[in-house]
Structure 1
């Protein structure tokens, strides 16, 4: 895999949806961006946004981790949008094929993004076995499509994370596990970040290739000993809690320069961290500041 080069710092962006909704006025029913793949206009917009990310990565000397638009493309969440199993499998395959169209002078990584079964801000109640069975279909389709890795973002339950990891291991595809934390540094299920990582590692024989934190501001991290196992941070622009963000009618884009400086400080403190980027409320200003700072 191309991300074996330890010198590469990867720039990831999972803030595409909030950018489209609040800054570009794009309607995304159910917060789902994968339906954009089914129209020429939608594909043109996605091509522009991925192109912007690649350009910033090139400008700042980073590789670009392109996250597929499949965070919402699992059975329960897609059913509400009228997608049956066959149509859903097709759009998951199309999402990876779309990423394969991009070329750049910087390294590109095709990251097949998956999300929780339910709300990304809530813990959920599945057992690990149930989570493995539920997520196995989407993970298998994405793996067959030729992605470089599965990336599970905004995961707030240890049990669901374990099930996702087991499903990825069953089809032999590497998985990045991006856990989210509340303002107290704990997952929505109440687990301390370090304890969550230890439990996932113990139950999967260290099956996670990379651990990240995403959908949280750097101020919310309580790294303790978890920092030595983390490979990076894909941060929110805002310091607001998940509950406050869920109720917000206006985008809080924070302070891009300050966010970049905070993430740059993390990169220097924890040199094993190689994956950085922006989640809710971020755009190219934030990515540029982050990319510049992690090389500072």
Structure 2
């Protein structure tokens, strides 16, 4: 008889935790739960608090720590089991655009330390995910960013997030295999468990042409595979779940992450508004769960109100059969591209 850990057999757990220590909180939560809820948007919610569009959100880690703490607390209060640090663009390349390239360690350390405080005060186990986004540069040979420099930038950020108290690294919105590999190497150098996501746009590819099947294969070839992998952002929740279907079909049994946008953005009075209602995002969350997604959250446009609706739906609606593409389209508003891909 197989040894059980939480509600899952050890053999299943070992498959996705290979190379990772059971001490990390994300693996512990995954071992005992069928699904976890991640947080929502960072930028959208900070913009709603008054962040100007020309200011890097990471600067608020020192300039407006009260509002960054509120961002974190709002996610926890809405039911998130995992929330991201306000450090998505906290690498040297992106911060240099704000004249803050020398502040990588300071801003990442501050963002993670505040998150650690909020998580520790939650009264339950909540995972702090040290957020790492793309460098903003194009990797060689198409662009000028070398693999070594990409690893160096990601590693600098990873070490600061680790020292600030992050439980795992959360690499997201990546578009190229080379940059994904660089982030994976940085996680190895920092000796940190990690999760990795790419962003798939129209026709199911990243802007650099990577398919969901290619990502599923890539994570298994890495020397230090992520605890979980998946997709975030992209076009909308329906398209993201079509990508998830391909992850499932790949045969890769590593836990899947889905962090979809709250609908499609529209420009109104000079501001972006997303058309995904809390009810639609609640449907998205349950559809993702029924597809086998283990970590479910929102990306752009997802507010605490959306998260509360998602959590309630996940806890009160009984699991159902794996949804068809037709059901996904009918409940979430259709796909951006006609036909299958």
Q: Same fold (TM over 0.5)?
A: yes
1:207 aligns with 2:225: yes
Alpha-carbon distance between aligned partners in 2 of 1:101 and 1:80, rounded to the nearest angstrom: 29
2:153 is aligned to 134
Say yes or no: does 1:70 pair with 2:87. yes
Cα distance change on mapping 1:11 and 1:251 into 2, 3 Å: same
Corresponding residue for residue 198 of structure 1 = 217
**In the alignment, what sits opposite 1:12?**
38
Q: Does 1:169 align with 2:192?
A: no
How far apart are the structure 1 equivalents of 2:245 and 2:297?
21
Counterpart mapping for 1:259-274 below 5 A: 259-270=281-292, 273-274=293-294
> Cα offset for 1:280?
0.5
Distance (Å, rounded) in 2 between the aligned partners of 1:10 and 1:128: 33
- Does the residue aligned with 1:187 lie in a helix, a strand or coil? coil
Aligned residue for 2:100?
A: 83
The secondary structure found in structure 2 opposite 1:251 is strand
Mark the runs of 5 or more structure 2 residues left unpaired by the alignment. 1-23, 318-341
Which of 267, 272, 287 is the equivalent residue of 2:307?
287
- Separation in 2, partners of 1:191, 1:84: 29
What is the TM-score normalised by the length of structure 2? Answer: 0.73
Equivalent residue, structure 2, for 1:2 = 25
Q: How many residues are aligned here? A: 275
Post-superposition offset of 1:140 = 2.2
Task: Give secondary structure in 2 for the equivalent of 1:117.
Answer: coil
- Contiguous gaps of at least 5 residues in structure 1: none
Distance in 2 of aligned mates of 1:109 and 1:214: 18
Task: Work out whether residues 112 and 149 of structure 1, in 8 Å CA contact, stay in contact via their aligned partners in 2.
Answer: yes
Bigger radius of gyration: 2
- Alignment of 1:26 with 2:51, yes or no, is yes
Determine which structure has greater relative contact order: mean sequence separation of CA pairs < 8 Å that are 6+ residues apart, divided by chain length.
1
Contact persistence 1:128–1:161 (CA under 8 A): no
Tell me, yes or no, if structure 1 residue 180 matches structure 2 residue 180: no
The CA distance in 2 between the partners of 1:134 and 1:88, in whole Å, is 9
Counterpart CA distance in 1 for 2:25 and 2:224 is 21
Distance 2:115 2:96 in 1: 24
Residues 248-273 of structure 1: CA deviation (Å, up to 9, x unaligned): 84312422212221221220231xx3
- Separation of aligned partners in 1, 2:207 and 2:40: 19
Question: Residues 68 and 86 of structure 2 are in contact (CA less than 8 Å); yes or no, is this contact kept in structure 1?
Answer: no
Over the aligned positions, Cα root-mean-square deviation in angstroms equals 2.4
SS at match of 2:117: coil
Q: Which of residues 103, 106, 115 is equivalent to 1:99?
A: 115
1:276 is aligned, of 296, 300, 311, to 296
Q: Judge conservation of contact 1:219–1:239 (CA < 8 Å) in 2.
A: no
**Does the 8 Å contact 2:231/2:257 carry over to 1?**
yes
Change (3 A) 1:267 1:128: farther
Give the whole-Å Cα distance in 2 for the aligned partners of 1:28 and 1:288: 26
Distance 1:171 1:250, change over 3 A: closer
Deviation, structure 1 residue 289: 1.9
SS at match of 1:99: helix
Question: Runs of 4 or more off by more than 6 Å in structure 1?
Answer: none
Alpha carbons 2:112, 2:161 under 8 Å: kept: yes
The answer to whether the 8 Å contact 1:194/1:224 transfers is no
1:234 pairs with 2:259: yes
